[in-house]
Amino acid sequence: MKLTLILDPAPIGVRASLMEEWDEITGSAKMEARVRLFDTEEQALAWGRSMASRRGLKQLFLTDNRKSAGG
């Protein structure tokens, strides 16, 4: 199983999307992303780590799309 936290710019705060993927015999599968808005990046990261911990995962992949949004 793999969890990816994607951070996107929002008018106020940070938009965080959590993508869950896993391998099956017939290929890989994805769940629909969970999306939440947070006031700070730290809150979004804590949420992502919490969701990973609940699934028994020690690693969370991060994609930060906010850095390229400014140009």
Task: Say if residue 3's pLDDT is above 80.
Answer: yes
Q: Model's pTM, two decimal places? A: 0.82
| pLDDT, tens digit, 9 for 90 and up, residues 14-31 | 999 999 988 777 878 888
What is the chain's mean pLDDT, rounded?
A: 90
CA distances from 35 to 8, 17, 23, 25, 28 (A): 10, 4, 22, 28, 21
Contact predicate 34/18, CB 8 Å: yes
